[in-house]
Structure 1
Amino acid sequence: MKKWYLGAVLGLVALIVAGCASFGDFGRVINVGMATNYAPLAFEKDGKVQGMEVDFANALGESLNASINIKTYAWEDLLEALDSGEVDVVMSGVSMTEKRKGMVMFSEPYMETGQMAIIRADDAGHLSSTIELMSGNHRVGYSLNTTGQQFVTNKLKNSEHVSFATTQEGIEGLINNNIDYFVHDAPTVWQLTSSYPTDERLFGLYTPLTDEYLAWAVKTGNESLQKELNTTLERWKENGFLTSTISKWIPVSVVLSEPGV
């Protein structure tokens, strides 16, 4: 009787151990890098990371039957974290540029966007045209290490360029009359000037200054994850999830047919 009992216990333990081992082998964790300074794509509120990229990351985990571990970094540290292997994919509103294509591999783009400008509402009467912005007679701000910086430094050579470490610092600089224009991505301009509650001190210029595409970045050589991302994106396009998620966070239509007009 005792031998039977001991054998049953050992058998049960063996089954539990085997089950735990199987679960451990089955579990997959994808580390996702984000910078939380890009509302409504990725931002922190009430101590939680939220935004369109968070929704995409969580849905990606469901699609790939994996656990998603979101790790936050300063914007300028994201690609280094990817290169070092700290994260597997960067999902943080990254514009596809030729320079970045030489550093990482991108998924297919999931959204078309571009740079736009914000001014003070009090200046809307005389600063609200792209022609005035391009005239070169104004102080123009941008966030460091962004495509906004590329546009300002490459296209507005005669303007006074003012750099800011973060978007918030740039907006504060605009409100405090340290600059005349602040250039940033279209979703940020919309979020600051068109969503509720709108800051009545700010006025968004919705004419696109550039034509850009957002995509997710993986480490060069990681073709398998790149393929999984592209397959997932194609499925989301077909079932409407991609469009509905973008519309949830950016419920406006931004047409980018004539950049730089």
Structure 2
Amino acid sequence: MVRILSCLTAVVVLVATAAHAQQPSRLDEITRRGTLRVGMTGDYLPFTYFDKATSRFRGFDVDMAEALGKVLGVKVEYVRTAWPQLSGDFEADHFDIAMGGISITPERQSKGMFSTPIMREGKTPIARCSDKGKYETIADIDKPGTRVIVNPGGTNERFTRANIKNAEIKIYTDNVTIFDEIARGNADLMMTDSSETRYQQKLHAGVLCAVHPERPFDFAEKAYWLQRDVALKAFVDHWVQTAIKDGSFARIYADWFE
């Protein structure tokens, strides 16, 4: 009897394994569908920006998404999301991959897979150039009377709330115009990714200055957030590594960051 039960168990395991092996991967699904669904917030230049006038996305990761779609041989379908609902939309399978300056976090890793990192940086302040020397350290910033502005729902808010206990935290929901609030004097600074501070410094030349972007307060990596599929991750990893080696990544990077 025991032997019969053991044989039946082995048969069940083999059938389950075979059925699992026959299930198409996410990569198979994308190629069959003919579209790669890319989730983007559209509010994070130079990575991604949604132009309401044209109803089109543009930015570094938009160019990268188009390059990925070309290699896959499929069209890119952009799915607009927002930082507060990014994780929820990801879990609801609204897109195959999230792009647009996505930082690797443990919470996101628990829900999906990340590609090979495309960028390593960290949080650093951006302030009016006249005040640049006032905000060199967290201790300099975290004082009563200092107004720290932040967009909600992402790693910027998480970092700010973890480190700011005495200064005022101002929540501002429009991540596109948030830097104008600093320029106008409605806030003193923002702490965000060093790549963004460099870009905004260029956009607001002589008005806003990045504070030691080469020496951020912490360390973070940006990558592409994938639905959990080994085949898709292997494909995207190889594509990223190839783009870095053949110079195509550098050419797209230069268009937006230099």
Same structural fold, with TM-score higher than 0.5 when normalized by the shorter chain = yes
Who is 2:181 aligned against?
173
Residue 242 (structure 2) pairs with residue 235 (structure 1): yes
Q: How many angstroms apart in 2 are the aligned matches of 1:209 and 1:64?
A: 38
> Are the equivalent residues in 2 in contact too, given 1:79–1:90 (CA < 8 A)?
no
Letter in 1 for 2:221: Y
Who is 1:141 aligned against?
149
- Match 1:185 to one of 173, 176, 193: 193
Q: Which structure is larger by alpha-carbon Rg, 1 or 2?
A: 1
> Are the equivalent residues in 2 in contact too, given 1:42–1:51 (CA < 8 A)?
yes
Q: How many angstroms apart in 2 are the aligned matches of 1:34 and 1:93?
A: 9
Who is 1:98 aligned against?
106
Q: How many angstroms apart in 1 are the aligned matches of 2:200 and 2:218?
A: 19
Letter in 2 for 1:174: I
Who is 2:74 aligned against?
66
- 1:141-169: per-residue Cα shift (whole Å, max 9, x none)? 21112222122111222322222213245
> Cα RMSD between the aligned structures?
2.2
Residue 104 (structure 2) pairs with residue 75 (structure 1): no
Q: Bigger CA drift: 73-82 or 106-115? A: 73-82
Who is 2:9 aligned against?
none
Q: How many angstroms apart in 2 are the aligned matches of 1:131 and 1:70?
A: 37
Residue 120 (structure 2) pairs with residue 112 (structure 1): yes
- 1:97-129: per-residue Cα shift (whole Å, max 9, x none)? 1122112211111111222211123333x5252
Q: Bigger CA drift: 36-45 or 171-180? A: 171-180
The alignment partner of 1:30 has SS state of strand
- 1:72-94: per-residue Cα shift (whole Å, max 9, x none)? 22232333222222211111211
Letter in 1 for 2:37: N
Who is 2:221 aligned against?
213
- Match 1:31 to one of 37, 56, 71: 37
Letter in 1 for 2:61: E
Residue 50 (structure 2) pairs with residue 55 (structure 1): no
Give the TM-score normalised by structure 2. 0.77
- 1:219-257: per-residue Cα shift (whole Å, max 9, x none)? 2x3222112111111211221222222222111xxxxxx
Residue 230 (structure 2) pairs with residue 223 (structure 1): yes
- 1:203-228: per-residue Cα shift (whole Å, max 9, x none)? 22134122111111122x32221121
Give the TM-score normalised by structure 1. 0.77
Aligned residues: 223
**What is the percent sequence identity of the aligned residues?**
22
Residue 209 (structure 2) pairs with residue 203 (structure 1): yes
Structure 1 position 36, deviation (Å):
0.7
The alignment partner of 1:92 has SS state of coil
Letter in 1 for 2:115: S
> Are the equivalent residues in 2 in contact too, given 1:109–1:216 (CA < 8 A)?
yes
The alignment partner of 2:195 has SS state of helix
> Are the equivalent residues in 2 in contact too, given 1:119–1:127 (CA < 8 A)?
no
- 1:27-63: per-residue Cα shift (whole Å, max 9, x none)? 6211111111001110134523111111111110111
Q: 1:69 to 1:113 in 2, by over 3 A?
A: same
Letter in 1 for 2:34: R
Who is 1:11 aligned against?
none
Structure 1 position 26, deviation (Å):
6.0
Task: Extract unaligned runs of 5+ from structure 1.
Answer: 1-24, 252-261
Task: Extract unaligned runs of 5+ from structure 2.
Answer: 1-30
Q: Bigger CA drift: 25-34 or 52-61? A: 25-34
Q: How many angstroms apart in 2 are the aligned matches of 1:131 and 1:62?
A: 44
- 1:1-48: per-residue Cα shift (whole Å, max 9, x none)? xxxxxxxxxxxxxxxxxxxxxxxx966211111111001110134523
Structure 1 position 131, deviation (Å):
5.9
